[in-house]
Chains A and B, each alone.
Chain A
Amino acid sequence: MTAQPQTAQSSVQPRRTGIKRKQVKKAIRQLLVHLMLIPLALVFMLPFLWMLSTSLKPDTQFYSYPPVWIPNPLQWSNYPDAVTYISFFLYLRNTLTIAVLATIGSLISCSLVAYSLARIPWPGRNFLFIFTVATLMLPFQVTLIPLFVVYSRLGWVNSFLPLIVPHWFGSALYIFLLRQFFMTIPMELSEAARIDGAGELRIYWQVILPLAKAALATVAIFEFIARWRDYLGPLIYLSNQKLYTLSLGIYEYRSQYGAEWGLLMAASVLITLPIILLFFFLQKTFVQGIALTGIKG
Chain B
Amino acid sequence: MTTKAASIRPSGARMKPRTRNTINGLLFASPWLLGLAAFWIYPTIASAYYSFTKFNGVQAPVWVGLANYIKLFTDDSNFWDAVYNTFYFAAVSIPLAIILAFALALMLNAKIRGQVVYRTIYFLPTLVPEVALALVWVYMFTPVSGIINAPFQYFGHRGPCWLTCEAWSRQTLVLLALWIIGQQVILYLAGLQDVPQDLYDAADVDGANPLHKFRHVTVPIVTPVIFFHLVTSVIGALQFFAIPYIMTGGTGFPANSTLFYSIYMYKQGFQYFQMGLASAMAWLLFVVTLIVTLVIFRTSRLWVFYSGGEQG
Given A37-B107, A45-B121, A122-B22, the answer on whether A254 and B135 have CB atoms closer than 8 Å is yes
Q: Which of A40, A117, A143, A250 contacts B132 (CB 8 A)?
A: A250
Q: Which of A47, A124, A166, A265 contacts B35 (CB 8 A)?
A: A166
- Which residues of the other chain, B, contact A296 by a CB distance below 8 angstroms? 224
A residues 44-72 in Cβ contact with B at 8 Å: 44-48, 50-51, 54, 62-63, 65-67
Considering the chains assembled together, what is the distance between the CA atoms of A45 and B121 in angstroms? 6
Given A139-B235, A145-B269, the answer on whether A169 and B31 have CB atoms closer than 8 Å is yes
Kindly name the residue among A3, A8, A148, A149 whose own CB sees the greatest number of chain B CB atoms within 10 A.
Answer: A149
B129–A139 CB distance below 8 A:
no
B282–A195 CB distance below 8 A:
no
Interface size range of chain A in the complex: 35 or more
CB-CB nearest in chain B for A38: B118
A1–B111 CB distance below 8 A:
yes
Q: Which of B38, B43, B107 contacts A169 (CB 8 A)?
A: B38
CB-CB nearest in chain B for A108: B31
B47–A132 CB distance below 8 A:
no
- Which residues of the other chain, B, contact A191 by a CB distance below 8 angstroms? 1-2, 5
Given A141-B239, A191-B1, A197-B10, the answer on whether A149 and B57 have CB atoms closer than 8 Å is yes
Minimum C-beta distance from A35 to chain B (A) = 10
Binds A, one of B68-76, B166-174, B286-294: B286-294
Q: Which of A47, A195, A272 contacts B8 (CB 8 A)?
A: A195
- The answer to whether A19 has its CB under 8 Å from any CB of chain B is no
- Which residues of the other chain, B, contact A25 by a CB distance below 8 angstroms? none
Please list the residues of chain B having a beta carbon within 8 angstroms of any beta carbon in chain A.
1-2, 5-6, 8-10, 21-22, 24-29, 31-36, 38-40, 42-44, 46-47, 50, 57, 104, 107-113, 116, 118-125, 127-133, 135-137, 139-140, 142, 145-147, 150, 153-154, 179, 183, 186-187, 190-191, 197, 200-201, 204, 213, 224-225, 227-228, 231, 235, 238-239, 241-242, 245-246, 262, 265, 269-270, 275, 278-279, 281-283, 285-286, 289-290, 293, 304
Please list the residues of chain A having a beta carbon within 8 angstroms of any beta carbon in chain B.
1-4, 7-8, 29-30, 33-34, 36-37, 40-41, 44-48, 50-51, 54, 62-63, 65-67, 108-110, 112-113, 115-117, 120-125, 128, 131-132, 135-150, 152, 166, 168-170, 175, 191, 194-195, 197, 200, 204, 225, 228-229, 231-232, 236, 246-247, 250-251, 254, 259, 261, 264-265, 267-268, 271-272, 275-276, 279-280, 283, 286-287, 290-291, 294, 296-297
Which A-B residue pairs are the 7 nearest by beta carbons? A169-B35, A122-B25, A116-B28, A268-B132, A143-B43, A146-B46, A170-B32
